[in-house]
Structure 1
Amino acid sequence: MSVRRLADEAVQPPTFAFSEDNARWAERKIAEYPAGRQQSAVIPLLMRAQDQDGWISRAAIESIAKMLGMPYIRVLEVATFYTQFQLKPVGTRAHIQVCGTTPCMLRGAEDIRSVCQRKIHPEPFHLNDDGTLSWEEVECLGACVNAPMVAIFHDTYEDLTPARMEEIIDAFAAGRGDTVRPGPQIARIYSAPEAGASTLTEEPTARRERTAPLPSPAAPAQAAQPAAAAPAQEPTTPGRKREVSEEAAPAIKSPGGPETKVTTAEAEAERNDAGASSLAADTDAMRPGATGAESPAGKIDEGRAPDKPVANAPGDGASAAGVEDRPARKVRKQLLDRPEGPADNLKLITGIGPGIEKALNEIGIVTYAQLGKLTQEQIALVEGELGFRGRVARDNWLAQADALAVGGIEEYRRRFGKDPR
């Protein structure tokens, strides 16, 4: 970055003061910041001073420093660091910032700069003969799609040609800069295509809608099932739209089937524990000697709402369309003997959230002591059951659990220098 210094003493005004309107604005701006943080208003106040006088003088820096209770050097550091602040007088009617970054350069920025050199001054930061215009070259101004472009004070002028740049300079030189329309100088809206929008042309809908699935051929057979197995649902017709409440439980995609709702409690648990959402639906094949047997009878199927009908298994002669539910979450095997007594709060261990804690409890791990003494064989079984590899070592579960088992939070703090989460 080039060295930026204040203007020569010869052009420095002896004093600076905000106008009455700007002084009131400055008081309101300072009051927006909490007590003890009012110095955060330094950039807005510097910009307001520049808008008032056209540039930042030494007197303006000193005045703002007094208003904010800051050392002069701190305000000077801000003013000289950010290139948005002009440290010497610029054109009173227009100071033109020509973007010279690659996109604009490829689209003719050099020709735009040549126009400024010819009509204002060959060198940047020099005023024209009557002191109304000046220019400089800057880095990206943020409208690369509309290159080449320039900024004049707070407005940008894009999609320029040398001829159009000359017209803009002439208008500002004559005091008619307010007649020039900012933004693209061709027939386009913002950064949209010149010929008009070609995508996303449909009108947005006011409500969320989803097309109901076609009725299943197996519907008559399912109608004969006891009412307790499948509660009555609103009939649907082909192509009918049904409104979805914003408060409805989140939908989860079923493999090869439509979206289905899950209970609010389950959705909350999955949101709270990102690791639990990545658990495999079936991890039997990951354990040595596993046969892929299904969940024992009598277990509660926690993978679906209790009032939802069980999905038809593939190949049982019934179509899954319209009735397929989310695959049931497997009830995990108990790998370790669960000790008697209360369970520990395993969520204090970094890397274990509500979902993983529940999974660990299901396989028999309920205390810090158990978790801290796992063998490598047991770790492999646990990680296979939970559906991720390397998690125990990566998050250092054993060391964390051992500290909590030995001396609770105090021991954890002594070993790791912080509180458990």
Structure 2
Amino acid sequence: MEQPEGFVFTPENLEWAQAVIKKYPEGRQASAVISLLWRAQEQNGGWVSEPALRYIAEMLDMAYIRVYEVVTFYTMFNLQPVGRYYLQVCGTTPCMLSGAQDLTEACRKHIGPKDTVSDDGMFSWTEVECLGACVNAPMVQINKYYYEDLTPESLGDIIERLRKGEDVPPGPQDGRQGCAPKSGPNTLIDAAIYGSDDSGPEPGYAGTSDPKSKMPGPY
């Protein structure tokens, strides 16, 4: 694959990187390698180039092969270009049982083959292991954000809206509030535990349907 001629951190990222390196004792600067690789990937449009690897190796006084070992061990690093919107479809058991395979078909339909950038340069997608949002399966991570409780239709709609430049709020896409049961709240819904009247939960306490409400304070 063709590589860019070089890589350097922007002045802002260089200042940030130097501050991160200073957190570690002399001779232990290599401990900053993952942080610097992640920032390089963000700066480089979602992937880490070979010049970026060599730049970071020199900055941390590491052998190039040691940096390469790290970047190839962790799956969140990409060694080839990705689209502006990078979709990671979770395929571990809860998501697979909930329809993850249908989401991969939606990606093929709206984007193209796996691990390739779409013709317009806006999208690419891949399959990954557990992203830790099993209760909201099936789900997809798009760049930094989780889109949960998906169907092939809702994922296709998200892709097309992003293609049009629209903002698509992350989180559950079926109207569910966070990780609440799909059938609706079934605990802490008895008004009596919040007071003597029948007005329901006091605003700001567990059981309220207001997603912006505050949780109870300390006892």
TM range, smaller chain: 0.7 to 0.9
Task: Name structure 1 gaps, 5 residues minimum.
Answer: 1-7, 208-421
Q: Among residues 119, 123, 126, which one is paired with 2:116 in the alignment? A: 126
Contact 1:186 1:194 in 2 (8 A): no
Give me the whole-angstrom Cα distance separating, in 1, the residues matched to 2:126 and 2:217. 47
Q: Aligned pair count?
A: 194
SS of 1:198 mapped into structure 2: coil
CA positional deviation for 1:24: 1.3
Aligned to 2:104: 113
SS of 2:95 mapped into structure 1: helix
Residue pairs, 1:78-117, within 5 angstroms: 78-91=70-83, 93-117=84-108
User: Amino acid of the residue matched to residue 155 of structure 1?
Assistant: Y
Aligned to 1:48: 39
Aligned to 2:14: 23
User: Amino acid of the residue matched to residue 126 of structure 1?
Assistant: T
SS of 1:97 mapped into structure 2: strand
SS of 1:77 mapped into structure 2: helix
The reply on whether 1:70 has 2:67 as its aligned counterpart is no
The root-mean-square deviation of aligned C-alpha atoms, in Å, is 1.6
The reply on whether 1:188 has 2:188 as its aligned counterpart is no
CA positional deviation for 1:185: 1.1
> What is the TM-score when the length of structure 2 is the normalising length?
0.83
Aligned to 2:163: 173
Residue pairs, 1:316-395, within 5 angstroms: none
Give me the whole-angstrom Cα distance separating, in 2, the residues matched to 1:205 and 1:160. 33
User: Amino acid of the residue matched to residue 30 of structure 1?
Assistant: I
SS of 1:188 mapped into structure 2: coil
Residues 310-358 of structure 1: CA deviation (Å, up to 9, x unaligned): xxxxxxxxxxxxxxxxxxxxxxxxxxxxxxxxxxxxxxxxxxxxxxxxx
Aligned to 2:49: 57
Aligned to 2:141: 151
Give me the whole-angstrom Cα distance separating, in 1, the residues matched to 2:25 and 2:186. 48
SS of 2:81 mapped into structure 1: coil
User: Amino acid of the residue matched to residue 16 of structure 1?
Assistant: F
Give me the whole-angstrom Cα distance separating, in 2, the residues matched to 1:50 and 1:164. 29
Contact 1:187 1:194 in 2 (8 A): no
Give me the whole-angstrom Cα distance separating, in 1, the residues matched to 2:50 and 2:28. 24
The higher-RCO structure (CA 8 Å, 6+ apart) is 2
CA positional deviation for 1:43: 0.4
SS of 1:105 mapped into structure 2: helix
Give me the whole-angstrom Cα distance separating, in 2, the residues matched to 1:25 and 1:170. 35
Aligned to 1:32: 23
Task: Name structure 2 gaps, 5 residues minimum.
Answer: 195-204, 206-215
Structure with higher Rg: it is 1
SS of 2:54 mapped into structure 1: helix
CA positional deviation for 1:158: 0.5
Give me the whole-angstrom Cα distance separating, in 2, the residues matched to 1:20 and 1:89. 23
Give me the whole-angstrom Cα distance separating, in 2, the residues matched to 1:141 and 1:206. 31
Give me the whole-angstrom Cα distance separating, in 2, the residues matched to 1:173 and 1:132. 7
CA positional deviation for 1:197: 3.3
Change beyond 3 A, Cα 1:163–1:34: same
> What is the TM-score when the length of structure 1 is the normalising length?
0.44
The reply on whether 1:135 has 2:125 as its aligned counterpart is yes
The reply on whether 1:198 has 2:162 as its aligned counterpart is no
Kindly report structure 1 stretches of 4+ aligned residues shifted beyond 6 Å.
none
Contact 1:55 1:90 in 2 (8 A): yes
Give me the whole-angstrom Cα distance separating, in 1, the residues matched to 2:217 and 2:127. 45
CA positional deviation for 1:172: 2.1
SS of 1:34 mapped into structure 2: coil
Identity across matched positions, percent:
54
User: Amino acid of the residue matched to residue 32 of structure 1?
Assistant: K
